[in-house]
């Protein structure tokens, strides 16, 4: 098996930064050093066979949005000397959705929860030795149980975990009603992983030119006042009443204004005030490349659940690279104003700042 030294991984970070024209800030340098050590240790490790070694400790990188955490993770992932079938890099949302599905399927076969999770993890990860989760988070007490089991299973298999998160481990499952349920798992994370902050002085997404990254997401727009004239100007024909249709998503009915070949048109109330989950958004994102979400109210007038769903919705659309149009009769500043919005709203605002503003 190919081996790689700490200096070689460091060199990879340097070259990647140079190619992008980045100057790494001190927080990024430190994280890159930790990742280089981990990369070299992974290259040395033999996990199977009679000379099985203890795998190196995982690494949990956390910090505010736009600090280059995902970039560090991607660059590390390219550098490690593991064959493709032994490493996986996934967005946590996407992985977790697949895990849910696989557990449900295996539960029907095995009838037993523990073996269902075991079988689901085997199915999803096979021989993976390195698992990289981008945007690790836990918001839902139901999800927290499965996250706990997943982390234990990964540990038992000797899978090395590298995550990025906007939260320190102690800030996971922030809801004070449920936080205590996750505390034992938080302690396990802290015992098994090194924790490092990537909290440089600036949000690189707000640098001039940063939004120029040409993705489907950045070709979307925020439309105010979102009247038919303005929508047509963006090539979006407002739905006729007859286009309203009920979509069945993860055993739930969603009444949307239109579901065309690749455009989903839906009201905020349906997507965020109904009992939808991030998993539903992921499924929809796989089918519809362009979304128009209209009638977005100022979030402070929405329910707490709807505010959190809106945060998840923007995360899913950004990560799945959906071309997103938000339309409202209020300007963006009013939509996001308020004191008791979810703390993640900062990430939402950062991501929405990538969209064009029309109005």
Ligand X SMILES: Nc1ncnc2c1ncn2[C@@H]1O[C@H](COP(=O)(O)OP(=O)(O)O)[C@@H](O)[C@H]1O
Of positions 65, 130, 131, 282, contacts ligand X by CB under 6 A: 65
Pairing of strands 160-165, 130-134: parallel
The mark string for 197-216 relative to ligand X (x by CB under 6 A, - otherwise) is -------xx----x--x---
Nearest to Mg ion of 70, 75 (CB atom): 70
Q: Would you mind telling me the total number of residues written for the chain in this entry?
A: 359
The mark string for 240-279 relative to Mg ion (x by CB under 5 A, - otherwise) is ----------------------------------------
Residue 240 CB neighbour total at 10 angstroms: 9
Is residue 279 within 8 A of residue 98, CB to CB? The reply is: no
Subset of residues 3 to 32 that bind ligand X, contact rule: CB under 6 A: 22-25, 28
Residue 119 CB neighbour total at 10 angstroms: 18
Asked whether position 263 contacts ligand X by CB under 6 A, the answer is no
336, with CB counted inside 10 A (0-12, 13-18, 19+), is middle
The mark string for 146-185 relative to ligand X (x by CB under 6 A, - otherwise) is ------------------x---------------------
Partner that binds at residue 65, options Mg ion, ligand X, none, CB closer than 5 to 8 Å by kind: ligand X
Distance in angstroms (rounded) separating the CA atoms of residues 60 and 31:
10
Nearest to ligand X of 71, 224 (CB atom): 71
Asked whether position 308 contacts Mg ion by CB under 5 A, the answer is no
Is residue 56 within 8 A of residue 160, CB to CB? The reply is: yes
Tell me the closest approach of the beta carbon of residue 331 to ligand X, in angstroms: 25
Distance in angstroms (rounded) separating the CA atoms of residues 92 and 278:
11
Token representation of residue 84:
């493709």
Distance in angstroms (rounded) separating the CA atoms of residues 274 and 238:
22
Of positions 13, 42, 70, 86, contacts Mg ion by CB under 5 A: 70
The residues of the shown chain that bind ligand X, judged by CB under 6 A, are 22-25, 28, 65-71, 164, 204-205, 210, 213
């Amino acid at each position: 098996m190919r081996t790689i030294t700490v200096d070689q991984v460091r060199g990879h970070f340097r070259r990647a930064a140079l190619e992008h024209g980045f100057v790494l800030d001190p927080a990024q340098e430190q994280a890159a050093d930790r990742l280089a050590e981990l990369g070299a240790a992974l290259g040395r490790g033999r996990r199977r066979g009679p000379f099985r070694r203890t795998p190196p400790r995982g690494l949990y990188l956390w910090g505010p949005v736009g600090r280059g955490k995902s970039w560090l993770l991607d660059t590390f992932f390219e550098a490690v000397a593991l064959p493709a079938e032994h490493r996986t890099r996934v967005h946590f949302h996407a992985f977790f959705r697949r895990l849910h599905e696989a557990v449900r399927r295996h539960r029907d076969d095995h009838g037993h929860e523990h073996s269902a999770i075991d079988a689901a993890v085997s199915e999803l990860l096979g021989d993976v030795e390195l698992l990289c989760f981008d945007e690790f988070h836990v918001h839902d007490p139901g999800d927290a149980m499965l996250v706990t089991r997943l982390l234990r299973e990964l540990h038992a298999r000797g899978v090395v975990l590298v995550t990025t998160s906007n939260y320190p481990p102690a800030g996971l499952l922030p809801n004070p009603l449920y936080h205590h349920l996750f505390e034992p798992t938080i302690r396990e994370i802290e015992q098994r992983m090194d924790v490092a902050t990537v909290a440089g002085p600036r949000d690189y997404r707000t640098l001039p030119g940063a939004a120029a990254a040409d993705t489907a997401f950045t070709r979307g727009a925020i439309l105010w006042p979102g009247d038919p004239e303005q929508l047509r100007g963006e090539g979006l024909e407002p739905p006729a009443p007859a286009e309203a249709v009920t979509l069945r998503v993860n055993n739930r009915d969603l009444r949307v204004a239109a579901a065309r070949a690749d455009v989903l048109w839906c009201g905020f109330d349906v997507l965020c005030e109904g009992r939808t989950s991030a998993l539903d958004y992921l499924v929809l994102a796989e089918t519809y490349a362009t979304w128009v979400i209209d009638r977005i109210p100022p979030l402070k007038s929405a329910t707490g659940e709807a505010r959190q769903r809106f945060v998840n919705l923007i995360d899913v659309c950004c990560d799945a690279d959906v071309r997103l149009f938000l339309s409202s009769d209020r300007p963006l500043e009013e939509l996001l104003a308020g004191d008791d919005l979810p703390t993640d709203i900062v990430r939402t605002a950062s991501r929405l700042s990538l969209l064009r503003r029309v109005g």
